[in-house]
Amino acid sequence: MKAFELMGEVDEQGRLRAQLPDDCAPGPVRVLVLAPENGSGTNTKTQNGQHNPDKDGYDDLLAWIDGLAVDTGIEDLAHQHDHYIHGTPKRSETESES
């Protein structure tokens, strides 16, 4: 699966218009839309028409992702995930993934 940022516009009929990159293959896609709440029409552009990344919903997206986090109480879960998921022996502290 490939991920890329796509900017678009939603018209009055609720249709999304956007230009896809040339390397996007035809077929089904999954779309995550970050839209202003309650139709507030938050302007994501600066006065000169350039895209403003500080106002495009990334903070809301990151807050949503943080809300999905689960505290497992396992401090070495990221480093030792193979041990916890597949039962392999734990890695040494200095061993890195290859």
AA identity, residue 11: D
Kindly give the residue spans of alpha helices, DSSP state H, lying in 1-98.
Answer: 58-68, 81-86
- What would the pLDDT profile of 60-96 be if each residue is shown by its tens digit? 778 888 888 888 999 999 899 999 999 999 998 777 6
Q: Which residues contact 36 (CB under 8 A, 6 or more apart)?
A: 42, 57
pTM for the model stands at: 0.34
